Amino acid sequence: MIAYLTPNFNHWFLLNFNSLRTDPLFASLCYYYTYYMLYAIIPLVLIFYLAAFKVNKLKKYRMVLFLAFITLAIGIPILDIIKLYSAVPRPWILYLDINSLYHGRGTSFPSGHAFQAFAGTLPIIICFLTSDGYFKRNNIKIALAILLLIFAISLSFSRILAGMHFLTDVLFGIGLAMFLMVLLAVLLKWLLDTGNLNLKNEKWHALVFTILIVLDLIYL
């Protein structure tokens, strides 16, 4: 709320993050991390999801991975539409004292990196921290959940450090991922409980969502 309601908070916050990039090595690491790590999320989620059909140890996580996958597939077009109509300029365009590590395409609000980082990891993080009749929490899963959370947070906020996004862009991207994940989790549970989702039609759904992601990455 502070970020959204305080005048010039976005500029002040981003300016302070900009000042952290004084070391060339750190700036280079930040550039490669924020630019390239995004491209690991969708392929890894898809690979593990497809593997869950065959690998016994992954089978119980198939629906969790499916939730992460459809959250990405549905959320990315929604986010791109919001970007298109909000048309918020990148920080370096609005403020002359802000510089970025590189000039990305598109508009600033909201952050696609933040959305994808949390949409792709949050269902898995929650699953790893759950202990019930189906999932059993242990120290290894807790450690993996912490690592995934660190990855999601660091990738999201690296966008501010890179000068590509304001804090509000990142927070909205994270919030959208959380909201959409919960909404789709409720829908997915209802489909499973009513028998409207089974192994056969799940594969067709996965194919449709894969095509949706590919089309979005190509055209939007």
Contact 91, 108 (CB under 8 A): yes
What's the pLDDT score for residue 199? 65
Decide: 94 and 166 in contact? Cβ < 8 Å: no
- pLDDT for residue 49: 87
What is the pLDDT, as a whole number, of residue 219?
61
Q: Are 116 and 72 in contact (CB under 8 A)?
A: yes
Tell me what the mean pLDDT of segment 172-190 comes to. 94
- Kindly report the pTM of this predicted structure: 0.88
- For residues 129-148, give the mean pLDDT: 88
Task: Count the domains in the chain.
Answer: 1
Q: How far apart are CA 38 and CA 155, in angstroms?
A: 8
**pLDDT for the residue numbered 55:** 87
* Domain enclosing residue 17, as ranges: 2-219
pLDDT at 43 over 60: yes
- Per-residue confidence (pLDDT) for residue 59, from 0 to 100: 85
Instruction: Read off the pLDDT of residues 71-110 as tens digits, 9 standing for 90 and up.
Output: 998 999 899 899 988 888 888 888 877 777 777 777 889 9
Residue 90 is given by DSSP the state P
